[in-house]
Structure formats: C-alpha cells, structure tokens
Structure 1
Amino acid sequence: MLKKLNLITAAINAVLITGTVGAANAFAQEATDVKPVERIQVTGSKIKRFNLTSPTPVTVISGVEMENAGITNVNDLLAELPQATVGLSPETTTSFIYASGLNTTDLRGLGSERTLVLVNGRRFVAGSVGSTAVDLNNIPTTLIERVEIATGGAAAVYGADAVAGVVNIITKKSFDGIEIDASTIRPEQSGGEQNFFSITGGMEGDKLSFVTSLNYSKTDSYNKLSRDFYRNPVTSYANPANKSGTDGIPERVILGKQSTLGYYSEGGDFFSKTGSLTDDHYNNHHWAFDNSGNVQAFDYGLGRVENSGVPNASANNRYYADASNPGDGVFSHGYKSYFQTPLERAILSTYGTYEINDDHAATFDFTWSDSKATTESSPAFFAHTIRRDNAFIRDDMAKIMDANGLDKVTLRQANENLWGDRAYQQDRSVIRASLGFEGILNDDWGYSTYVQYGRIEQDTLWRGEVLEQNLVNAIDAVELNGQIVCAVRDADGNVTGEREGCVAFNPMGAQSASQAQLNYIATNATRTAKQDQLVVAATFDGLLFELPAGAVAAAFTVEHRRESAETHPDHAMQNGLIFGNSSLPMKGDIDVNEFSTEISVPLLVDHFLATDLTFETAYRYMDYSVTGGDDAWKLSLNWGVTDEVRVRLNRSKSVRAPSLSDLFTPSSQTFNSGRKDPCRADEITSSGSEYKANVIANCQADGLAEGWMPTADWQAAGSLPGFVQGNQALKNETSNDYTIGLIYTPEFIEGLDLTLDYWSFEIEGAIQYFGRDSVELCYESSSLDNPFCSNFVRNKETGDIINYYERPINASIIAKKGLDIETAYRTELGNGDLAIKLTATYLEEDSENPTGRTADFRSNVGEMADPRWKGRFNAIYSHDDSSYILTANYRHSSVESNEWNIEDNNYNDIPSYTTFDFMYKTYLLDELQVRIGVNNILDRAPPRNPFTYDNGEFFDVKGRRLSMGAKYTF
C-alpha cells in the first residue's frame, strides 16, 4: 500500500511543475515510463484515474509557492489568485465582533459560504459558530503539500456549498526527520509585525508513517494613523459650488484633510443653542470642559474657519482638521481605527498511515488549534441628559443654561479614560480528529471510509462596556438631605427620593472614575458558543466493465453529516443591559444524508482528431432535516483533440444549503427610523412608482380600505421596533453553471502550457437578508403571494405596522461569467532553470438582482470589488542551491459605481494597481535554508481616492516590508 502511495505522490509532484492538472499529462507519462501506472485521484473527482486529466479546471499551488511568497497563512496566497478574492481576513474584520481575525477564502467573489474548503478531500469544521466557511487559520502551513482549486460542478462530487468551487488542501502524510522553521515580517513603518515558528517531525516506517507539526504565529495590529499615506488623507466634502442636482457640478469633491466629528469630546460637550456647525455658531453656542471640569468654548483646532480654508462642516456636524491639532473633536476616520486585527494562533496536527497488510491501511489525523483575535474600537459614546437641578453643575455652566432658558442639556461624551476602549476578544479553539480505512478489494476496486468529529468553541469577551441604565441612574445626581445621591423621580420629573445601591457620577470633564463608580457602571460581557460536526462516509471506486476505448470507471459515496450549534450570551447581553450589544441564546442542528455516484465513460481513443474522448457524469442526492431533499449533478466531456490540444466541457447544477445562522439565529431587537408605509393614502397619491397599481391592489387585498391612513399615535411615534432572526422556511440555493476549457501544449515550444477556461454561474433563490424594505417589496409585487409579506406584522384592527423582521429570504439572483487564463513556461537559462507562470481572470459579467424584479437588476462588473482584469505573474530562476522569485499582482482600473454621474462626485475613477514582491532562497548547508524577501518593493499605497485610500481589502495598506526566514532539517 505504501509503495503505491509513493507512486501516486511522485506522479502528482510532476503536476506541480506545470501548475495546472490539465496541462500535466506529459510529465505524468514520464513517470509511467519507469514504473507501473497506479490509479490516482485528483480534485474535482472521486474516481482514481490512470492519468492526471481533470474533468474540471483545477489550479494547483504547491507548498513551496507559499514559502516563496513569504507567507504563513494559506489565505494570504489564495486572496492574490485572480479567480478568488478576500473573504474575511485580519484586514477586513477590524470592526467585526464574532468574525474578528477570521481568514476565509472566496472563489469567484460569490461569498465564502459558497466556497467549500476540504482538507484531504474531507470537510473541515466551520471557522465561526453558525457558519459554513472554514477558517484557514486552523490549517498548519508547514504541513501543506499542495492546494488544489477546482471550479464548476464540484457540488455533485463533494456536496452542498461548493457552488463556486472547492479548495482542497492536501497535507503531507509522512515525514522522515525533524524540521524547524522560523520567519518574521517587518514593515518599514511601525506596526503589523508578524512572527512565525514551527517544528515538524515524523517517520516513514515499514508499517507506520506519520508527521506531526506544531505551528505558532503572531500578527500585531497597527493603527491607521501609523501609515504616512493615511496621515495625508484623501477625504471629501460637500461642494459649495453645487447648487442643484442638475447643474453638472459634483455634489462632493476631494479634500486632503481629516473629517472630524464636532462633538463627543473626552470631557463632554453641549450646545446652548439649536442649530448645526455653521459660521455664526462657532464658539458662541458650543461648549466643552477642561480636565478640571470648567466650561470653555469648544476647540476646533486647525479645523476652525479661519485656519481650515474649506467650508466648516457638512450637515452631519463634521468639520475638517489636521491630525496634528484636531481640537476637542473626535476623528471620524482614524481615531481608534486599525488596519489589521491582532491575531495569535497555535496549531498542533498529526497525520499518519498504518499499513495493516499489502491491501489495507488505517489512516488517522488530529488537529488542535487555538487562536486569539481582538477587535479594538472607540470608547463607548453617550448622549447624557443633564438636568438643571444636577448637583454637579458648576456656576459657569449654570449661567449658560439660565441665560438660554435651558432646563436640561444633552452632554455628548466619548472618553477612553473612564471605561477604557471597547475591545472584542475572540478566543477560538478547534479540535478535529478522524479515523479511516482504505485499500483495495480486488484488482479493479478500492475503498475509503472514515469517521470524523470536529468542534469549534468560540468565547467572546467585550471589555470597556457600560451598563447603560446604571450610567443613566448615576448621572442623574441631585443633592438630597445634604448628600449627593442618585435621584428617583415621578412622572413629572420631580425628585421623590434616593435610588438605592446607585453611586452618583459626574461626567462633566471627568477623566477617571472611582472604584465604586466603576463597580456600578462599568462591566465586561461574555458569550460562549460551540459548533459540532460529525461525518461518517464511505467511497467505493473502480472499474465497471470494458469498452473498446477503455474501462468504464465509477465511484459511489454514502455520507452522513450532522452539524449542531449553540450560543450562550451572559445575563447582561440577553437582557440588553450593556451599551450597543444584545443577544439571545441560539440552538439548532442539521442532519444530512447523502448518496452520490460518479461515472467516467471512455468513448474514443487513438482516432483522428480524438486521441481520447471521455464522457463524465455525477449525481448527488441530499436529504436535509430542515430544507428537505435536493440534488446536484454534472455532465462533462473531456476531449483530447491532438497531443497538443485538449478541450473540456462541463455543465452542472450546484446547491448551497442555508447555514445554521441563516436558519436558527434567535430574535434580537433592532429599530428603524421613519414612519413610511406604502399603503398610506398620502404616499399612494404622491407615488410615481411603476408599481403603483400593484400597491393599490395589494393594500386593498390586505384589508386596508381605499384612503386608509395609520393612526395619529403611530405616525407620532419614534423608531419602529423590529427583530433580527433566522428563517427556518429557507430553501437551498440553486446554481446552474458551465465551463468550456482549452488546454494547449505546443510541441514546437518545449515547456509551454496554455489553459483557457470560460465559466458561467447563475444562482437562483440566493439567500439575502431583508428588513424594513420588505414592506415596500411586499406590496409592489404582483400579488401578496411573495416571500416579503411575512417579514412584518400589522395590527388587525387599525392596520398599523407594529413590528418587522430582518431575516434571510430566497429571493436574489446572481450571475457571473468570465475567462481564466493560465500559462506556464519552463526552460534552461544559463547555468540554471527559469520557470514563468501567468494567471489572469477576465470578468465578463457580474450582476445581481436582490428581488428578481427587472427594475432591481444591477451590474457590478468593472467596479472596485470586481475589476475587469486581475492577474498574477510569477518568475523563478533556480541556480545550484539558490532561487530568485519575482511576483507581480495586478488589478485593472475600475470605478466605484457603474451608476455614477457627474452630479455625484469628481472621484469615481479608480486607477490600476500593481505590486511587486521578491524572494531569495539559498542553502548555506545541506540542512540549512535561509530566505530573505521584500514585499511591495515599490511601497505602493492604495490609490488616492476617497473610496480606496484606506482600503485594506483590495489594496496593500502595510507598505514595504522585509521578510526573513530560516529552515533547518535534521
């Protein structure tokens, strides 16, 4: 068995030379000239084959490529591939709570939940409770042998969630010796340092072979203001020259200053007159406090009108300042904002094989991972009500209030010295283990079976939180019987007594709080969560019968999977007692039973214009405990036209099942401002909508008479209450997709491979969340029989909307089409070897329709997230024991919005963006490898555009950085 496995490994290593499975036949043939051919399994199929020709496009990344890029997380490399984009990463989760620090991949930009990540062909436990996306932080980089990326038709082979494709991470199964690896990345500007260490050991014996590895890495965060390009911002402001929406003058124009919020100072600030920040209001109605609690005019720093040189502020009470002197205001950009979430992780993994006899072997693997990430945020910000009878009001403030006839003021405050910065710490612990058996039953048939268990435990800690009602109680301080106490008031606001257990607090100018005040007001909040995964599966593959062109091969798989999740917020969160966060417990589970079959039928061999022609098909039936039965299928044709040209065609249906969060998220309170209702008589009268007739008919069908108006009390009320929750009525998404591929390996240019793959995805019933907008969508539909009408509730007697739900619905349509280009060239050059590889993706269509209505169709292609072209170039020159690696990543020029017009702004265009990386590797000793590299050699900052200058999702915000590493093997 082990000898056969070694043959498979040798053949697959040949594939890595080409970088693409489809173009690797020549190298595979060289291996067969020496030893008998073994059947080999490639990603995209569970049939072991006599060659390495894949029925679907497969891109292969070797573990060496990750080392060459100087990275320690596989997602850092996947995000640079043209056919993928960033799902979640430390750069995109700086403001997230439960997702902070996650690393997920996103094929085709269709969403991480539509990309299935496998490890050695098997599912991995989700990276976050309630999700289906895998956190690549849990995969040990040093054990990765290669990563195979298959797009199109993967759901029929591997199951739901493989709509966009499959990322199959293949690990080393054995290792003979011990290897120590250490590396560091040091940005030129401070912050964002990364350190990595691993030790790997194993043995290759006659019976037992295994590999064990311990990986540790730490990535530091860095504040946005630590980068010079951010300190020289490209913000925008309301253009004073713009007079209307039809004058051809942009509403907003570029400004190179920070936007600063004109209140929420540390000591607190208040207004003694109503109005916004216009010229005549500066410093004559806006007051703040110094550190001693004395009232002073609000300081606008260099943003004051006489210093700024730009309009003072926009309607949302912002002014513009320099970072060197912002005054009392709070930066709306950059203040307590970070480019990267700090992340620390440790992974212990073991993979092994025990050969029972020549025909059967037991396999086992175990992974333990622990990661910590912290999302840092601004301190809690409040609008305190300070009544005139407050015992802490000094004479200067009292005079201002009395002169303006104020019986109370609103004190806005955000002070990190009081309660500390809010920080959301995520502790994630993953454990995964499997035991399997594989082997051969006879000369034609083999089997593989396993049982696997995985669990993620996710503990969240909120620091710097405040018990809101306790803070309100403490601030309402009055003097009673010679003592300052917390007031109890009647309905008219009169003080009737002292609030027991309350500790009075003076926020005006406060820079600290006593321990007693902290004990009463400040708090930490917690939530524990876990998700379990159990998989039992068996696959039998082999040869059914012979045809003139060869043997008909098949694979049959049965699988049972159970996913369960639960969350447990603490008392304060469940009861909505803390600032900005509330949550209820969740509990849910899904059982899935699946059966799949895959058949490969050789039709022709050694014919004119058909060196080989193979028809492939796969079918999978899935029975979900919540969403019911569903299926996926694919039809493929693999056609070797000549020895130089190969064509592949693939047509398939894929599905995605809703996640546990989509289904079981418990109700949590939310609010929506405004009292709009499309059935109101006044709104119907003034409506110019093309759906007006539908609205009138549906409102009447819903029992609302012509001329209906909501009650006066409803119209006068404030925000409309609602609930965010899951939807157990969801169905599976369905995707119809196809690929047409051409593989060209010309004989007249030795070492050249070219692959072209045209692909198309059309997803129907895509899951999308709808909230308050469901009311309009319900009545604008052709009838009340639509999914939106169940998202709100009316009072049966008055007709008033009394509640709405924000939950997922199968309503959206998504379409993407494009062309993948991959070419590789290898040749001898001088005394060494040169290998060049270019991959690129052209995006032809990227559209979405959230409701299915023609009027809601939107094209995204060519916008910032979806440029027409993306490309990656890699050149490696190897000489003796040294290698020189140059990598370039390219994004085509784009726009922020396809619906832009000159009335919007003067900065819609986003230029192309290219970065270059270099790595040098050499062996100082046979056992010692050292490497040194520079990432972002030219120190390219994001494009200087208000939409992009601080964007770390698509552009490099770290700047030029040095990477160094060493590896010792003994």
Structure 2
Amino acid sequence: MKHLSTRTQRTLHLLAASAAFGPLLVLGLAGTASAQSSPQAAPAERVEVTGSRIRSLSAESPSPLQVISSDDIAKSGAVNIQDLLLKNPIAASPAISRTNSNFSTASAGVATVNLRNLGESRTLVLINGKRTVAGVPGSSAVDLNNIPTEFIERVEILTGGASSLYGSDAVAGVVNIVFKRSFEGVAADLQVGQSEEGDDRKKKFSLTFGTTGNNGKTSLMGHLAVSEQGAVYSRDRAPSAVDQFSVGARGDATARRPQDLFTAQRPFFSSFVPQGYFFTDSYNGTNAFTYNRAGQVVREDTNGTRGEATGFNRSEFRTIALPIKRALFAAKAEHEFAPSHSVYLDGSYAQSRSSTELEPYPLGSDDILPASGGQVPAGALVGGVLVRNPLVPDHIWNDISDTDGDGIPDYYFTRRMSEVGNRGNRAERDNFRFVTGVKGDFGASLAYEAFVGYGVTKESQTSGGQVNVLNFRYALDALPDTNDIDGDGNRTEAICRDANARAQGCVPINVFGRGAVSPAALNYVQAPGSLSTSTSQRVAGLSISGEAFTLPAGAVGYAAGVEYRKENSRSEFDALQQSGLNAGNAIPATRGSFDVSEVFFETRLPLLKNLPFVKQLTGVLAARGSDYSTVGNTTSWNAGLEWAVNSDVKVRLSRTQSTRAPNINELFAPPSQTFPAGLTDPCVGVTATSTGVTAERCRAAPGVNANIAANGSFRATQADLQGISGFDRGNPALQEEKGRSFTAGIVFTPSGVPALRNLSVTLDYFKIDISDAITATPRQFILTQCYSGDASFCRLVTRRANAVGPNSAGSISFLDSQDSNGGGEGVEGLDLTASYSLLLGPGRLSTRLAYTWMKEGYEIPAIGAARDKFAGEIGTPEHKFAFDLGYEFGNFSIRSTTTYIGKSAVDDQFLASNFAPRGRVPAGSVTVPAKAYLDLQFGYRVTKQWQLYAGIDNATGTKAPLIPSGVPSSVTGTETDAGTYDAIGRRYYLGLRASF
C-alpha cells in the first residue's frame, strides 16, 4: 500500500479493524446480556499482565516474565531503577549510564536498559503498558531518570519478541513499568549516603500521597521526588588516577603477548601539554622545544622521547561517575462516572541535570591550519619584506627553516589549552508525559479502553573548553604595530594582521609557555557550545478485550485494537559545532519524523482440559499489521502453546516474528564526524618484502610505501592512532529488521508438597535471530575486510599520502561508516528463576535466584560476513546471576543481594587483528576474572509508621577488573568496563521511611 496516501491507508486500517471487531463485539455483548439476565455475585477483577493484551482472572503471564516488586525496589536502596535492572542477568551493559558517558557530546548521564545485549533500540520500555517518549533524541531509548522510583508498583520484564502485542522495538523484550494504582494516606522516604572514599554522595527524598472519595468512585494520588548523586573523579581511584595504556594493545612492531593486554604502561602521559610543544622542522622531533616547570626552554632529544616536562596526566581531570540531579512529579486520577466505567488521567514531569568533565582540549596547529598541514607562518611578507611575528620567541625563530619555500619561516605546535578550561557540558532535560482515556466493562466478558497520550523530552546543553579555529587562525597571524595602525598610541605591541579580524576584536595569541594566553586573547578564541533537542510522541489507541464464545475446554478470550503513533525529533548543535570549527567533531543538525497506524488481534484458545496429563492446554495467537510513513507495511505475529500438565507443572512454547522499523537517527542523520578509538591498523609491521594479501593491499597506498621506506616497516605512532577521524551517517533507504524468536519453558510450583508449597521454579530456553539488522558497520571490521577480505570496504578507508602534522605518511585519516540492513544479530541460552520462602526460627526466610546462561550471542556486521560472537565477552558474560536472600523477624529485617558476573573474554575480533601477525590467538583465551558483588540492607521498624534502614552496596569492596585504555570495552577515564563492573567501590546509605 505504499502508493496510497497516508490518510487513505489509515482509513483502510480502521475499516479492517471495524470488520474484525464487529462480530467480536456482537458476541461479547451477547455474552454480557446473557450474564446480566440472572443475578450473580460480583465477578473477580480481571487484570492485564505483560505478555498478553487479554484481561484474565489469572495474574500469570503466558510468556517468560520476571518481576521486580516495589518491595524489591525499597530494599535495594536504588535511586534510579536502572541500578536495579542492571543486576538482572538478562540485562547487558547499557549504552548510556552515569558511569560510561562522560565523553558523550549528547545524552550524557541518561539511563537506558539493554536486554540480551541486543541494544536499547530493540528493548521496548512501557509505562502502564503504554509507550512513552524517548529520552535520547532520534531513538526509542527511554531515559529511566524520568521514572519516579518510589511510585513504581512493579517492573515486569518480558523476554523474547513481543512486537505483535506492543509494536516495533520489542525484539529483545519489554520492560513494563507499572505505577501504583491507588494510594491512601501519605508516605515519605528520606535517604543519604556516600562511598567509603567520601564521594558519590547521594540524597533522596520522596513523598507519595493519595486519597479516595465519592464512595470509592474517585481516586487521586501524587508523588514528588528529588534526588542528587555526586560525581566520582578518576583521580580519586588508584586504578584510574594516572594515564595508562595497554602494553598488548600498543600499535607498534614490538613483540607482544596476549596476556600483556592487561599490563598497563603507566604512566602513559599525553604529549599535548599546557606549556606547548613546538617544532621547527615538521613533526619529526629533531627540532623541537618545550618548557620545563620553571618556564625554561627545553630542547627535545632527537629521538622524540617525552620527559616529565612534556607529559600531561589526563586522568587528573576525568570523571568515573557523573553528577546527576533529578526532580520528579507524577499524578494519577480516576473517576467512575457510571458503574464499571471510568475516566482516568496519568501525568508526570521530570527534570534532570547532569554534567561532564574532562581534560582541557588538545590542540594542534593542524587543527587550526589543516590546509597547510599545520604550518604556522612565523611572520609575513609585507611589501616584499619579511616581517616577524613578535610573539615568536628567539629560540624558535633562530631555528626555523622555510620548509615550503614561500619565503616565510614556519613552525608547528601542539598544546593543551588549559587557559580555556576543562572540557565538559552541563545538560538540563525536561520530560513531560500525560495519558488520558476512558475504560470500562460490559459485564464479565467485554472490556474496552480508549486513550490518547502525548510526551515530550527537551534538552538544553551548554559546553565549554572548545576554541573557534577561525578566530584562532587570525590570532596566530600577528605583526608589530610600528605604525600604530590601531591608533592607540602604542607602537611596540603586536596586532592581528587581518584588518577585518581586528575590527571584530581579534587579539594576538601567545601560545609559547604555560599560561601565556592573555585574557583578551582567550576571550577572542574560546567558543562556548550549545545543544538543543526536542523529542515528541503522540499516541492514541482503542482496544477491546473479552470472551467471544465458549468451547468445551473453556471460553475463547480475545483482544483487538487499533493504535496510532507519531514521532518527531530534532537535535541541533551550535553553528561552530555543526561545521567542525570549534576544533571538535562536525555534528550537523538531525531532524526527522514518522507516523504509523496499526491494528492488532490476539486470541487464547482453550483446546483441552481435565484429561490425563492435561489439566489445561491452551493455544495463543496474535498478529499486528503496521503501516509506517517510512518503510510501508510490516507484519508481526506470535503463536504459542500453554500446557498445564497438572497443578504443579506447566509447559509453554512460543514462536514469534517481531519487527523494528528504523528510528529517526538511523534514517535521517547527516554525516557526523567522529574520532574512533581502540582501532588497530592491519598494515602495522608490513615491510617491503612482506607477503600475503594484507601486505599487498597495504603497499597499494603510496603513503604506506613512503612510511616503509622511512622506517623499514610500516609504523603508526600514538598520534596516528589518536588522529583517526571519520563520518557516521544515516540511510533514508533503510527497511525494517525482523526478529524471529523461539522460547520453550517449564514452570514448577509443587503446591501439593507442604514443605515446598512456597517454591517456584521456571526454566526457559530462548533463541532470537535478527535478520536485515540495522547496523553501522564496525570500523575494525571494515579494516579487516579491506586488507584481508572484501576489498570493496576499502572505499571507506582514506590514508594520508604524506606526513601531515604529527601524523605519519600512510596513516589512516578517515574511516567512514553508514547504517544499512546488511547485518544480523542473535542470542541463545537458558534463563533459570527460582524463589522459595519458609518459616525459620523466629522469622521468615525468603530466597530468589535469577540466572542466565548465554550459550551463544553473535552479530553479523555486513552481508556475507562471518558471525562475530560476543557471548562470553566482556559486557556479555556467559554466566550471570543475582541471588537474593532475606530474613524478617519481628521488627527487624535483613536482605542481601549477590550479583555474579562470570569470567569474560576480550573481543575475539580485536585479538585477531592485534595478534594475527604473530600467531593466531584462540577466541576466549584472554579473559578477565569473574566478579561477585554483595549488597546488604538492614531495616528496623520503630513503630507502625516509622522505619529506619541502612545499607552497604559492594559490601566486600570487590574491585573492578583492570581493562586498560586500548582494550575494547575500556571506558575512558575508568580503566575498566564501567557499564558492567563497579568502578566506584564500597558505598553506604542510611534512610528513614514514614507512612500515615
């Protein structure tokens, strides 16, 4: 139906929906009339549980479901629900959290969830079963900072595809956050805490209140919460206090062993220093100067060795955990305007503030004058006479040679712009959401709901630490004002040579030495940045649920409905950032929108009951048709079988096809500059006599040959590895991706055995395969394919023909990537959950275990590429579990949570690229050890209204494994995978709860 107008397509959908609903509605009303003809007791309340849109008397889900209760949340001490979700073994490392986003130019401090390591875009987050607006512009990722933790009744985590029930994005699963339905009275919660190092301070206060009136027909409730989590700096933790780099990941020709990946060269200081580093003969280090701490000129040795005077410790300025402030308000109101019919309103407003901080900008003269390879004129030809820039000191001027033969001596420099200050951003995000609707029941066999909703997330960000490269260029070009051109009477000062620049306030800049930049020059060259984003969502839906007719094995349940959704997103940096003129990445504005009309149907068919070994056998069918303004028509479906062998054993099977339409960023993002890290150049070590495909393709680049001729083998310096840039871009031609999943599970609840009456065990097998996956081809894969596989990938690789600035001839200058439907992803494994409680001694003991065995996990980066397995690698361990143990007696309670993260391996693709020239390293052979974290909470109920509690997170002080910079998964500034492991350490908190 792509050739039809959007309005026409929606009309057809609504007609189709009406055709489907008509007979069902008649059957439902007929059932209602029959039921009303004879008085009977009020029916038990029917509820909707995640995994089915059919309301039923049972609160059990037909799909694998894990539940986090409000009691679990309270006994975790969590400020943000993300902290608790990360302990669940089916949740992998999130793309964004407060411990892994310090270097993000946007969305730093946002909290997301990633099920099965299939990505936030394939994890659908719902609130009360309905979609909510994204917190990351251009995506579907919800910011969990906007969720009021104490307002949550429970969190239901559905694993496996569920697009037929909830629409696009539910490929890996669904996280449904269910708010409290009603509340009577007032409850308050106050909590303070900090780490044993005295940082990571947190404060939290919440107030929940509610009332019911009009004989129970009207209910009102509200919630207010404020919280603050303090920063943790890299300098305050021994593993990350000093710059370091993995010895095994060094991109040079020295002998390395795989185990050296976890051996760090420490310190590994940056050569960009506040006092500057100056070259008078390109960047070869033979004619180089700097300044020592006393401000004295120091000439560099000819081998370019960096000494104490030239090293800069970036870790002194970096952050492990961002400071976050949150203020939230949520409210619910419901009024029964007629028996069994009510109108409702849910609304929330959330404001969060976060800030990042990292070291001052490392500026090179090639950032300012890229066209000339970084050559800075030390003077100018005025009337054919060479006039010296008076700010260039004698020791530079006397050593300069005219390298390009234009008659003007040139120099080069690198410098840490400490006068501009630390880089970082301050972001304020506002999230507003409301849903209003009407719902009701016509007897016990038909329910309906109609709703509309709107949500918007806005971000306003300011940033500092950058410079205006155009102004900097003018400020470097200075002449003595011997003729008093500016008319201030001073003939000994330096002025900017360009008259237009002078008119706009240009002040000459002195880059020679620590603190040499004057306040006036600083004011001219610094470039504060800004970012403005807006993401909005409009939704509407109409659904019915009921029982159509009765079969011998029971009533046939159904749910059907139509839904409409429109998404808009805009993300716009300041003009300098968009054009890359602030010495940073060029990030153009991204704007886009799409809408979708959908119709869905679900039915539960009771097939057999009360037979030998068959207490109940039920079939489940669901389907959803969607029409997108971007990709056209898509179809999702689900088929399942539930078999209750007896009262103790149930078996469930399901097969689904889920779809995910591309989001706004994937479709419409313009080329955005990035500077990828952790890449290994396959050409390193290649000589003029090396044989093989890699050597031949490397030597096909003139710059590589020049590098080999100069060094004997191809060499990539630290500057080369840090100087790789590239552009990421969206693709309007993208189509939807499809996920096929299969689950098979068994539920064991031995109610017939008194001693095991409170035992519940579930075991579920899962397998998800995603085809036509939307992916940005990994850059390391591009390099590997270019030089040892498919040579067509070489079109994305650009190498320097000659040495430019500090970068060697033949080094990679640009490595691009674009979204496409060429990938694939998949996971396979087992989930085990078990819970048990019993009376023991003077109190009750309760236990719960959630364990996941990730048997297989893979991604396919491009069509025809081999599977890149990630199961068992850092961030996605093969084995992970969370074990809760609690005991309550009298007014006392104690609870412990043990989170286990199994032994994990370094990315096998990185090993293959880094060590293949020295012999194959088997995948999984280089690992970090397993880690276990113990959290404790103690509670004492002083009176019926007052309760004291205290807790210790990471009570055993378990250290995060050292994953030095240069190794995949290392989060810059933390020297570990801070999204997976705890890089903060032991933390304490104390709280008080009151209810009236």
| Residue in structure 1 matched with residue 765 of structure 2 by the alignment | 758
Distance 2:895 2:701 in 1: 72
| Residue in structure 2 matched with residue 5 of structure 1 by the alignment | none
State the shift of 1:219 in Å: 1.1
Question: Within 5 Å, which residues of 2 pair with 1:321-336?
Answer: 327-332=309-314, 334-336=315-317
State the shift of 1:465 in Å: 2.0
Distance 1:587 1:180 in 2: 42
| Residue in structure 2 matched with residue 840 of structure 1 by the alignment | 851
Q: 1:201 to 1:662 in 2, by over 3 A?
A: same
Name the amino acid aligned to 1:925. Answer: T
State the shift of 1:909 in Å: 2.1
Q: 1:918 to 1:596 in 2, by over 3 A?
A: same
Contact 1:758 1:818 in 2 (8 A): yes
Please list the CA deviations of residues 554-589 of structure 1 after superposition, one character each: whole Å capped at 9, or x if unmatched.
000110000011233333334433220433333211
Q: 1:649 to 1:922 in 2, by over 3 A?
A: same
Paired residue secondary structure (2:521): helix
Paired residue secondary structure (2:163): helix
Please list the CA deviations of residues 640-693 of structure 1 after superposition, one character each: whole Å capped at 9, or x if unmatched.
01221110001000111111111111344679999x999xxxx9x98738999x
**2:439 is aligned with 1:438:** yes
**2:736 is aligned with 1:735:** no
| Residue in structure 1 matched with residue 116 of structure 2 by the alignment | 108
**2:960 is aligned with 1:942:** yes
State the shift of 1:513 in Å: 4.3
**2:270 is aligned with 1:266:** no
Distance 1:720 1:863 in 2: 26
* Count of residues paired in the alignment: 867
Distance 2:389 2:925 in 1: 49
Q: 1:903 to 1:930 in 2, by over 3 A?
A: farther
State the shift of 1:879 in Å: 0.9
Q: 1:229 to 1:907 in 2, by over 3 A?
A: farther
Distance 1:708 1:966 in 2: 68
**2:977 is aligned with 1:951:** yes
State the shift of 1:400 in Å: 4.8
Paired residue secondary structure (1:106): coil
Question: Within 5 Å, which residues of 2 pair with 1:171-570?
Answer: 171-205=179-213, 206-231=216-241, 236-237=246-247, 252=260, 255=263, 258-271=266-279, 286-289=288-291, 294-296=296-298, 327-332=309-314, 334-384=315-365, 385-388=375-378, 389-401=388-400, 407-416=409-418, 418-481=419-482, 482-486=491-495, 488=497, 501-511=505-515, 513-570=517-574
Please list the CA deviations of residues 148-192 of structure 1 after superposition, one character each: whole Å capped at 9, or x if unmatched.
011123111000100011100000122111122111221001322
Paired residue secondary structure (1:583): coil
Q: 1:515 to 1:252 in 2, by over 3 A?
A: same
Distance 2:158 2:346 in 1: 24
State the shift of 1:893 in Å: 1.1
Contact 1:39 1:48 in 2 (8 A): yes
State the shift of 1:37 in Å: 3.0
The normalised TM-score by structure 2 is 0.80
Q: Which moved more, 1:166-175 or 1:506-515?
A: 506-515
State the shift of 1:840 in Å: 0.3
Q: Which moved more, 1:215-224 or 1:227-236?
A: 227-236
Please list the CA deviations of residues 369-409 of structure 1 after superposition, one character each: whole Å capped at 9, or x if unmatched.
11111121221221235544331133344445489999333
Select the residue among 147, 150, 155 that pairs with 2:155.
147
State the shift of 1:515 in Å: 4.2
Paired residue secondary structure (1:470): helix
Contact 1:474 1:504 in 2 (8 A): yes
Paired residue secondary structure (1:872): strand
Distance 2:842 2:829 in 1: 40
Paired residue secondary structure (2:338): coil
Q: 1:735 to 1:470 in 2, by over 3 A?
A: same
Q: 1:318 to 1:140 in 2, by over 3 A?
A: farther
Q: 1:292 to 1:486 in 2, by over 3 A?
A: farther
State the shift of 1:779 in Å: 13
| Residue in structure 2 matched with residue 72 of structure 1 by the alignment | 79
State the shift of 1:480 in Å: 4.1
Select the residue among 812, 822, 825 that pairs with 2:823.
812
Distance 2:982 2:501 in 1: 59
| Residue in structure 1 matched with residue 659 of structure 2 by the alignment | 655
Q: 1:425 to 1:597 in 2, by over 3 A?
A: same
| Residue in structure 2 matched with residue 870 of structure 1 by the alignment | 880
**2:70 is aligned with 1:59:** no
Distance 1:690 1:267 in 2: 41
Question: Within 5 Å, which residues of 2 pair with 1:890-969?
Answer: 890-898=900-908, 900=911, 908-946=926-964, 947=967, 949-969=975-995
Distance 1:655 1:866 in 2: 24
Distance 1:210 1:759 in 2: 41
Select the residue among 595, 617, 627 that pairs with 2:599.
595
Select the residue among 624, 648, 651 that pairs with 1:644.
648
What is the identity percentage for the equivalent residue pairs of Structure 1 and Structure 2? 29
Q: 1:345 to 1:253 in 2, by over 3 A?
A: closer
Distance 1:118 1:251 in 2: 44
Q: 1:709 to 1:626 in 2, by over 3 A?
A: farther
The normalised TM-score by structure 1 is 0.82
State the shift of 1:234 in Å: 7.8
Distance 1:92 1:771 in 2: 20
Distance 1:468 1:331 in 2: 25
Distance 2:514 2:229 in 1: 35
Q: Which moved more, 1:189-198 or 1:737-746?
A: 189-198
Distance 2:73 2:226 in 1: 16
Distance 1:497 1:953 in 2: 47
Which of the two has greater strand per residue? 1
Please list the CA deviations of residues 837-862 of structure 1 after superposition, one character each: whole Å capped at 9, or x if unmatched.
111000111111111325x3222222
| Residue in structure 2 matched with residue 797 of structure 1 by the alignment | none
Name the amino acid aligned to 1:921. Answer: G
Paired residue secondary structure (1:661): helix
State the shift of 1:38 in Å: 2.7
Paired residue secondary structure (2:168): coil
Distance 1:230 1:670 in 2: 24
Please list the CA deviations of residues 112-164 of structure 1 after superposition, one character each: whole Å capped at 9, or x if unmatched.
11000000000011012111010010010110000001112311100010001
**2:777 is aligned with 1:767:** no
Please list the CA deviations of residues 469-496 of structure 1 after superposition, one character each: whole Å capped at 9, or x if unmatched.
111211222224245445548xxxxx99
Structure 1: give runs of 5+ residues left out of the alignment: 1-33, 300-311, 320-325, 490-494, 693-706, 713-717, 794-801
Contact 2:242 2:313 in 1 (8 A): no
Contact 1:740 1:757 in 2 (8 A): yes
Q: 1:867 to 1:497 in 2, by over 3 A?
A: closer
Contact 1:48 1:541 in 2 (8 A): yes
State the shift of 1:945 in Å: 4.8
Q: 1:226 to 1:507 in 2, by over 3 A?
A: same
Q: Which moved more, 1:368-377 or 1:268-277?
A: 268-277
Please list the CA deviations of residues 684-723 of structure 1 after superposition, one character each: whole Å capped at 9, or x if unmatched.
x98738999xxxxxxxxxxxxxx9999x9xxxxx999975
Distance 1:903 1:708 in 2: 25
Please list the CA deviations of residues 237-269 of structure 1 after superposition, one character each: whole Å capped at 9, or x if unmatched.
3699x9877xx9559465465233352111112
State the shift of 1:603 in Å: 0.8
State the shift of 1:500 in Å: 6.6
Distance 1:243 1:466 in 2: 36
